[in-house]
Structure formats: C-alpha cells, structure tokens
Amino acid sequence: MTERVVLAYSGGLDTSVAIPYLAEKTGAEVIAVAVDVGQGGEDMGVIRQRAIDCGAVESEVVDARDEFAADYCLPAIRANALYMDRYPLVSALSRPLIVKHLVAAARKHGGTIVSHGCTGKGNDQVRFEVGLGALAPDLQVVAPARDFAWTRDKAIAYAEEKGLPIDVSAKSPYSIDQNLWGRAVETGFLEDIWNGPIEDVYSYTSNPAEPRDADEVVITFDAGIPVAIDGETVTPFQAVAELNRRAGAQGVGRLDMVEDRLVGIKSREVYEAPGAIALITAHQELEAVTVERDVARFKKGVDQRWAELAYDGLWFSPLKASLDAFIAETQRHVSGEVRLTLHGGRATVTGRRSESSLYDFGLATYDTGDTFDQSLAKGFVQLWGLPSRMAAARDARLGGPSA
C-alpha cells in the first residue's frame, strides 16, 4: 500500500509546491488539509480545488471557526493570555487546533507522515511537531522548507517548471499569518527595527490618529466567558468577530514589538488583535472586581505561565492541563458587565458591575454611609509593620544596612 502524507495546506505558493515535491521526495500520496480558523481572504472551496490541481489525491477543508473561538480563544481570555505582557498569541492559539485536525485526517486516510511548511527559524515548527508528538507519536514529520532547504526562489522555479496553477508573479513584502484572533506581520522593511510600520501593514485596524466619534460597548461575561454585547446574546465566534469590527474601526489592538522566539532569536513583529485586546481588557477588569485579592495575585503568575506554554507549543502538556483546572476554578464568579470606550487606538474601561462583586460601597466610601471601622486600622498597621521594625532594630544594633 502506498504511503500517504497529510499536509497542512494554506493554499499559498509554498504549500502548493509542497504537494508534488513531497510526492516526488517520499513516493507517497499527498492529502491536503486546510483548516479555516477565520483567516478570511480566499474562498476555501477555491483552496480545496487548488490542492487537487497541484496533485493532491484528497483535499479537505475543515470549518473550525466556531471550534477555534470556543476552545482556544475563550481559554486565552480567561487566562488573560499575553505573551511578554503584550502579544495575545495570534498564531500560537491556532496551531494546536490545526494539529488536532491533521491527526484526525491522518487516521481517516491512513496517513503515516505529516508535513508542514514551517522553517527552522520559527516557533511554528515546534508547535506542530510537539503537538503531533503528544497526540500521535507514531506519525513521522517532514518539513520541506526546513528539512530540504526549500527556499522561495526554488519554490517559484519549481512551480513554473511543473506548470502549477498558482500565481507566483506577485510577492508581498511581508510574511503574514492571520485568523479570527488577530493578524501577525513580519519581514520586509520591518526587519530593521528602527523602521516604523506604515499604514499598508495593517488590515484589521483603522488608523487610530484619524478623527472619529468614540464607540461605547458593554460586554457581558458569564464565568469568564463573553456571552453578550450591548445586551445581545453572542456565540464566542460572534463576540470576537464583532469586537474585531468595532474595536478595529477605532484602531484598537495594534502592537509593534521585539519578541523572544522559542528558538532563541529576537524577532520584530507587528500585530493587530482588536477583538482580543478589547476582550482581555474587559475580562481583566471584571476579575479585579470579582476575584479575591490573594487568588488574583497568584493568578497573574499562572496567566503568564499559561501564555508561555501556549507560545512554546506545549498546549497538550500536563502543566497546561493543570493550569486550565486552576483557571476554571477562578472564573466561577467572574460574571457581570464591563463598559468600554473604544477610541484613538485604546479600549478604556469606564464602568463595571456584577452580582458577584467584592466591591462594597459602604467599605469603600469616604462620605456618609461609611461602614468601615477605622479604629481597627491602627492595630493592623502596627502588626503589619512589626517584622520590618524588628529587622530595622536588629540592623541598627549590629551596624547592618539602613534605609
């Protein structure tokens, strides 16, 4: 029986050329699998047919938009997932979902090899292959761009030689990856980190410097999950898509950063993630109202580690599963509404309310109605500062460090 290769297929030059190239190199039949995670652009039916025209014996398109929103974006919201405190894991979140469907396709079609188009410099090779190792360690992996030093020039020449039905005449100056959660742009003139981004880099967001009226939005959460926008019930996919539209129109979610890649390289990345930034901003604020102080302090470290695990391709790791359980417990009371003003590239919280709120007006107010017993504060302060006073007295006695 002829071996079969399951290829993660995007419809672009590199993965289209990979179909006949893999067939030649491995002697296997190629199954192309394109996963729709809300990336937009070309019609997925056209992409499916292109794979067949390039020589795939089977071509599948998986509509995973709702799955991506519910099972990958929502956990990122509940974890306030921002790698290096800024990046909302645009590409990193989609990779484990794609891996899951590649494995399913391999089982369905009798595939023994899985292939992807990642290079040896990037994070995605790790995300694909570590994920595959966790879900299907029996499958082999072939990465043409990395394993066979497959360059773009070689790909173009090969496509022309084989007469493949793809346009190789125009080349974007950027490398772009996009999905429902956001858009990532790199390479080209952006590789000089002194060069500022220009407007044609952006697609999901409008120029925040252009004058326009502000947009006010109220997001309703239930157990850390956005369930309504301005009172209208939404699915997870609808929540992200609607805030991509509204926050994007106000220029919210633009990021320009030098990022620490897993392989040790520092890389300049430009991101657009309007819906992600708006939702995480609102969720963080609702947690501030509903999560007890020590839990909230501890969760900050958990959130950071969760983001690192997702970024580093360890979505299916035991630690990630354990952190998920902790985060789920913290979200039991994260229900209520947050009001945001979207304007000038910023999502600013202007109101919050919750039946689960730990904010007590009577304790917080300085006006009439104050229920806080201030007579208790003096003794509290004395006891709280006791260890510091004792250490200071010791240092003064022994000639140690002074303030």
The binding site for ATP comprises: 8-16, 117
The binding site comprises: 8-16, 87, 117, 119, 123-124, 127, 175, 259, 271
The answer to whether residue 95 is catalytic is yes
Handedness of CA 149, 153, 158, 164 (dihedral sign): positive
Whole-angstrom Cα distance, residue 73 to residue 180? 9
The active-site residue, picked from 65, 78, 124, 346, is 124
The active-site residue, picked from 63, 147, 175, 260, is 175
The answer to whether residue 94 is catalytic is no
The binding site for L-aspartate comprises: 119, 123-124
The active-site residue, picked from 14, 65, 268, 352, is 14
Q: What is the dihedral of CA 380, 383, 384, 389, to 10 degrees?
A: 140
The answer to whether residue 297 is catalytic is no
Phi, psi of 375 (to 5 degrees): -65, -20
CB 160 within 8 A of CB 134: no
The binding site for L-citrulline comprises: 87, 123, 127, 175, 259, 271
13 closest CA partner among 192, 246, 123, 170: 170
The active-site residue, picked from 95, 254, 346, 352, is 95
Q: Would you mind telling me the total number of residues written for the chain in this entry?
A: 403
Helix (H) or strand (E) holding 244: helix 236-249
Quote the DSSP letter at residue 1: -
177, exposed or middle or buried, with CB in 10 Å at 0-12, 13-18, 19+?
Answer: middle
In this structure, are strands 175-179 and 182-186 parallel, antiparallel, or unpaired? antiparallel
Q: What is the dihedral of CA 359, 330, 275, 189, to 10 degrees?
A: 110
Residue keyed to tokens 């937009």: 40
The answer to whether residue 63 is catalytic is no
Q: Which residues are catalytic?
A: 14, 95, 124, 175
